[in-house]
Amino acid sequence: MIEQSGATQAAARRVFHSKVDTIRPTYGFDDVSLAPGTDTVEPADVDLTQTFCGIDLAIPILASAMDAVVDARLAGELARLGGLAVLNLEGVQARYDDPDEILARIASAADDEVHDLLAEAYQRPIREDLITARLEAIHAAGAKAAVAATPGAARRFGPFCAEHGADLFLVQSQVSSARHLATDYDPLSLAEFTRYMPIPVAVGNTTNAEAAFALMEQGAAAVFVGVGPGAACTTREVLGIGVPQITAISDVAAARDAFQAETGRYVPLVADGGMRRGGELAKAVAAGADVLMIGSPLARAEEAPGRGMNWGMAAPSPTLPRGTRIKVGTTGSLERILLGPARVTDGSENLIGALRQSMAALGARTIREMQGVEMVYAPSVGTEGKSWQRAR
């Protein structure tokens, strides 16, 4: 028998805490499925309408504030179909008299040249006269004018846009927090900003329930959810940051419901990114989203300014791009992509028809009812019985 030393005996009494012991499981779109219940309804009886930040929507779709996705033309067409486009105030539309020329150059540039071109293109200063012109063009196209800027630019452009006819201002950053610390400048105070802005102020992006609750307390009219899920975004690879969208949406939805219970104010949740097919839109709503912001699926539209390409908002960074240019192709009109008729079987066309059919099959007549359907952990749902499809 070996006698243990005092040090050995002390070590045996220690409890070691490893971070991996407390890692919680998180879920993305491919990890879950929606379970049918006892009721079904007619697809024609599904009501997708809502008022979002004072703007009436017939379909719960926002077009991402990306230069390859939104200009005045697409904003007008999406408004006709019932959705809302968000214009990037720090993009080429506010830097160039004729943005089509630089958009064409970006779309046609060689892969090994495009990031230098992007960095160069976005060095041109933002012009207030162009912002005014774009707001007027969006209204002339029959759409409400929703615009987005990073927190650093929001203080400058927020009041200006409100004065010149913007209907909604989105303060959008890679990760939004209720309290930003900085030593070299005075950060934007969201509570102060929402108080003096005469139009609704939405805020994004977050994946954290506590942060979302605090943003609502500070006056956010809507909260955007998603860090890194977009097809053109490389934040997760470059920075190692992100939470899978089903978990992120569900967590922030819990904060939204708690905030409503405490204050009586309902703050809509926008699922931003990661959705390519109708089933993913349905899962995002079931996880708790009120509205869905999509980029690359709409960049495939004939009306999109990107000419079959898309790139992330952070791609123009000259030092650390968190986005890349991707080829999405041009597959048809915006109406076909959203409302059909679909010519393909992968769910990437007639997105709203698929959402409506999913809701009908699950007995959900409204977005709020869809948020109450059962969701199950189902990692095999995409492969079960599909061997012949995978072999094609």
Active-site residue, selected from the candidate residues 53, 134, 161, 233:
233
Spatial contact of 69 and 295, defined as CB atoms under 8 Å apart: yes
Kindly tell me the burial class for residue 60, based on how many C-beta atoms sit within 10 Å of its own C-beta (0-12, 13-18, 19 or more).
buried
Length, in residues, of the chain:
392
In the structure encoding, which two tokens stand for residue 43, read together?
């697809």
Residue 369's CB is within 10 A of a number of other CB atoms, namely 17
Kindly tell me the burial class for residue 186, based on how many C-beta atoms sit within 10 Å of its own C-beta (0-12, 13-18, 19 or more).
exposed
- Expressed in angstroms, the distance from the first to the final Cα of the chain is 66
Question: Position 163: which residue type?
Answer: E
Spatial contact of 301 and 74, defined as CB atoms under 8 Å apart: yes
Task: List the beta strands (DSSP E) in 150-301.
Answer: 168-172, 201-206, 223-225, 269-272, 291-294
| Distances 49 to 217, 251, 261 between C-alpha atoms, Å | 26, 24, 23
Dmax over CA atoms of the chain, in Å, equals 90
Active-site residue, selected from the candidate residues 105, 277, 307, 336:
336
336 an active-site residue? yes
Query: How far is Cα 22 from Cα 13, in angstroms, rounded to an integer?
Result: 21
Spatial contact of 30 and 268, defined as CB atoms under 8 Å apart: no
53 an active-site residue? no
Query: How far is Cα 372 from Cα 359, in angstroms, rounded to an integer?
Result: 11
Q: Return the active site residues.
A: 233, 336
